[in-house]
Every structure is written in structure tokens, then in C-alpha cells.
Chain A
């Protein structure tokens, strides 16, 4: 058990870098992810999120450093790593002329999964009724659920998701988040990238902020908000005026104290910082 209550590390990344000429897409990144943990990687476009996933899934060779999954080197022991992982791609890269069932059957065969796994997964993602329809007739939300079913076909110990809810309506996004949560509850590790701070806050056990290829912060959402977020309070006075005060600012705190002493305060609503605030503080601009 680690400090956050999770088991031993299943992803271990040490000094991982990927350079394209002078461009440092990922620069000396180190972290570990425990079994059963959901880690979110947040960053602007081009911050290095997808490149990191590409290296961890063995699809790009690191310029330096190394990454282990279940103790296996993702470059030198790639063939042994492959059955342990799966990935939900950012693009909806499905075979559109094939049916939903045919798509899953193909990947079940590729991973050597039993045929019974296909109807199970279709049921799990709510696509049983649409299984015989060609994928080109699916909505974006249905395609995303099929992508997730495909990524679960081998019951991966580590599931990577690259922007899994991007472009989805709120209902479909909620369905997708629930499937991810269920998979993690079943003991698998989830590594996801996202643009949505609320999603990261709600879903992830820990969050890493990536800026210009480097990790600038990595902790639980709560701890990050406490350390880097701005605690504020909305104060409603007897004269019905509303004031925003920063609790960590000495001047604002004194002002609040004076209002309290004068009995002018009707209500006080305190707010902890958001991940968005944390990100702006660390990266210099919002996502």
C-alpha cells in the first residue's frame, strides 16, 4: 500500500523523454501509478500527453529514459506488455463498414479472448441492440462506448484513455466515466488524458499537470487544490452587498474580520480552489 491507499506500482516511468529534433515533446518525466489507481494527465494541446501515452503503449520509442509496466520494459519487452494493456484512442478509429459485433470479434480474436467476452462487453456498454448494425450508422456516443468495449476486450491490467469524453454530450460522457470507474473498481489501473478539469476532479485519484513536456505537479486533486488553489469566500452583508474575499490574503482576511466584528455579515460561503485555478497558477494560462 502506498500513501494514497493503493497497491504496488504497475506503471513506473523514469526520466522519460521524447525529442523530435529540437522539440522536446516529453522532457525527463518520472512518475509511477499504482494498481487500481486512476491517474489523469492534464495539459494544453501539445503539452506531451499523447506522446507520453504513445511511449507507454510502445508505439513510440523514447529518446531517453524508460518505462515499465508490470515490471516489463515497454520497449524491450513490448510483446509481453501488449496483452496487459489496451488503449482508447483519441480518434474513433473503428471499422465503419463492419458491425459493432464484428469489430469486437476481430479484437477478441487478436487478443485471444474467449468469444463469450463479446456479448458481455456489448451488454456492459449498452450496445447489445445495435450490435448488428454497421458502425457508420452509430452516433458519436455509441462509437465511443464501442471503443471502450474494444479496449476492455482483453480485460487489461492497465487501460489508457486519450481524451475519452471529448466531443460527447453530457449523458454519453457520464456513461463513459461510469464504465471507466467500474473498470478501476474491478482492480485495473486507468491512465487517462483529458481537457476537462471537472472530469479529472471527479474521476481521478491523482492528477498530473503536464506543461511543455514536463510534469509541473502531481498529487490528489484535493491536495493540489489545497496547495496551489486559491481559497475564497463570498460574503453577503446586511446592506445586501456581496463581496469576494481571498482567505489567504491578509488584507481581505482583516476586512472579513472587521465585518464580522461589526455584525454586518449575513452569510459566508467558502470555496476551495478548483483544479482550473491550480492549472492556471502552474501553467500560466487556462486549458
Chain B
């Protein structure tokens, strides 16, 4: 490997990209979509949450909770016949938080007793669920006008596979869509911009002129650096223009860098397979879908089997990490698993690139 040669090809690609309208549009399009989303949705839209209640006698507690939380969330209340039904709904994430109110709860409070109140939360509570659980003590005190008012038992359900459908509610539509636009931008670089550069080199046979002196590996490294530079410049630009600041910057950087490296690997592979620009135009849109759709699904309620399929796609894991980083808390668990899945795809992608390169050199 010759660093001077890699640098020369890398610089040529960067300069060429600034003069190539196709590549400029490939970046501008997601950037404009991100900005559009940023203007369409506001951060101050109140998230929604659902409170499930099992109460054998009439109680004012749900109404009091609604009144206390109305500044921050839109809380809907739904009654359930028994604890088992409520627990099932919380586990299935149809309800953000469940309350088991014992019979005569209001009377007991007013009588100065401390009746037991059971709160049921999922393994990864939503913002609304957490908020209701946190405010419960204050609400019961207000009803009883005494401290402590009720003995609150908190039950957290064991984690189940799948995603948190509360990401949208917790993060807000604006940030979610900007994050989707970031992933769209990385995907566009991977499946279009980078392969376009490689395909043009092959189609116009400039690649042969390069490899007359440089090795195939040097060209590939230079192209990877070019793709990564495109990612590294465009993502902060998107965040700056949409005024989205991650709460956990380190996690966000890790997610974006890992995803960029992985997708660039697949971009190199795609670029290596395409012979003409026309082929690339056809196949890049096909390749874009499996990268983009999983990222969108992560923020939405979806059946378990869909979530299972989506969870093996690197961009879905980027979305999970990105949501956590933007929210500053773990809305999605097992961050290490997300990192491992993205890294796994990187190994597969670069492994295939290396395999193709060795075959070409041997022919």
C-alpha cells in the first residue's frame, strides 16, 4: 500500500465529486428532505401515552393523573377487567403503563391509610409510561392531602424481543424523521454516490489507467475514504441545518461512524458489480429499499415477526442507536447487540469486497 497514491486518488475523487451534479444531488436530496421534516414537525408536540387501569370500585385517581400530566403528555385512560389482561397489554406495548387500584382506594386515602397501588411498566418504558409512574406519588398525595399517601409497588415486566413503539412519542416526529433522513443520506452515499464513482471509472476505463500503477487495494481504500468523507461531512451538516442535537453525542458518533463504514463496504461491493451507469441507476433504487425501510419501521408499531426480520438489518440498528443517542436514554435496549450487528455486516461487506478483489487480481 502506497499512502501517496491513495491520497492522490482520494483527492481526485473529492474534486471530481464537487463537479459531478449526480453526486451533489445524491447528497442534497436527503438533506432537503431532512430540512423539510424539520420545518413540518415541531419538537413541542406533546407525546401521547395510554394508561390502563384495573379498579374494582370507582376511583378519581385516573382523572387526577390525567390532570397532573396534561402539561407534558396526552394521556388516554382505558379500563381493563383484570390484572392479567392489563399485564398482557403492557407486555404487548399497547398500553404504556398499568395501574392496579385496590377496592376502596379513594376512601382509604381520605381516611389516612396508605393503600397499596401497583404500577406495571414494560422492560423499556416509554416516556409517557415513565412520566406517569414518576408523577404517581405526587398525585396520590394531592388526593389524600397527606404524606406518604399510598404504598406504591412498581412491577417492571421482563424484557421481550422487539422494539419500543414509543420511540416516536418519546423523541417526537421531527427528530425521528431527521434521523430517518440521516440514514437515507448514508444509504444514498452507499448505494448511489460511491458506486457511481466506481462504475464511472470502470465504464470509462479510467480504472485501468489507475491500476496500471496503483494496486486494486489502493484504489479501493481511496474510494472508501472518499465515501467516508462524504458521510462525515454530510451528517453534521444535516444536524446543523435541522438544529437536532444528540443528547448522547458519543453514542451518536459511534452509530454514524460504524454505519458509514459498513454501508461504504456495501457501496464498494455494489460499485464492483455494476458495469454501467444505467445498471447502477436501476439497482441502486432496489438496494436502497432494504436499507431505508427497516430504519423507518423501527420507529413504528410493527408485528413481532417484522421486528425480528428488521432487527438483523444494520440501518435498523443504527436507527435504534440513533434514537437512544438523540433521546439521551435507552429507549431501545441492548446497545451492544446493535453495535455487534452493524460490525458483523461490516465484516461481511469488506470480506466480500476483499474476495472480489483477490479474484480480479488472479484473473
A residues contacting B by CB (< 8 A) are 57, 59-61, 79, 82-83, 85-87, 89, 91, 93-98, 102, 106-107, 109-112, 150, 154
Flag if B16 contacts A93 (CB, 8 Å).
no
Flag if B12 contacts A106 (CB, 8 Å).
yes
Complex Cα gap A95–B206 (Å): 7
Flag if A109 contacts B209 (CB, 8 Å).
no
Cβ of B81 within 8 Å of any chain A Cβ, yes or no, is no
Residues of A within 8 A of B205 (CB): 89, 91, 93
Flag if A59 contacts B211 (CB, 8 Å).
yes
Partner of B208, one of A83, A93, A97, A106: A93
Cβ of B214 within 8 Å of any chain A Cβ, yes or no, is yes
Flag if A110 contacts B213 (CB, 8 Å).
yes
Residues of A within 8 A of B210 (CB): 110
- Known A93-B206, A97-B19, A106-B12: A83·B4 in contact at CB below 8 Å: no
Cβ of B63 within 8 Å of any chain A Cβ, yes or no, is no
Cβ of B159 within 8 Å of any chain A Cβ, yes or no, is no
Residues of B within 8 A of A98 (CB): 12, 15-16, 19
Flag if B8 contacts A109 (CB, 8 Å).
yes
Complex Cα gap A94–B12 (Å): 12
Cβ of B212 within 8 Å of any chain A Cβ, yes or no, is yes
B residues contacting A by CB (< 8 A) are 4-5, 7-9, 12, 15-16, 19-20, 204-206, 208-215, 362-363
Flag if B5 contacts A107 (CB, 8 Å).
no
Flag if B211 contacts A109 (CB, 8 Å).
no
Complex Cα gap A150–B210 (Å): 11
Flag if B16 contacts A109 (CB, 8 Å).
no
Complex Cα gap A102–B206 (Å): 14
Partner of A95, one of B5, B8, B12, B362: B12
Nearest A residue to B206, CB-CB: A93
Judged by DSSP, the binding face of B is helix
Complex Cα gap A109–B213 (Å): 11
Nearest B residue to A87, CB-CB: B212
- Known A93-B205, A93-B208: A83·B213 in contact at CB below 8 Å: yes
Flag if A112 contacts B4 (CB, 8 Å).
yes
Of all A-B residue pairs in the complex, the 6 with the closest CB atoms, nearest first, are A109-B8, A93-B205, A97-B19, A93-B206, A110-B213, A106-B12
Residues of A within 8 A of B20 (CB): 97
Flag if B16 contacts A95 (CB, 8 Å).
yes
**What is the minimal beta-carbon distance from A164 to any residue of chain B, in angstroms?**
15
Complex Cα gap A200–B363 (Å): 32
Complex Cα gap A204–B204 (Å): 29
- Known A93-B205, A109-B8, A112-B4: A86·B212 in contact at CB below 8 Å: yes
Residues of B within 8 A of A110 (CB): 5, 8-9, 210, 213-214
Residues of A within 8 A of B362 (CB): 61
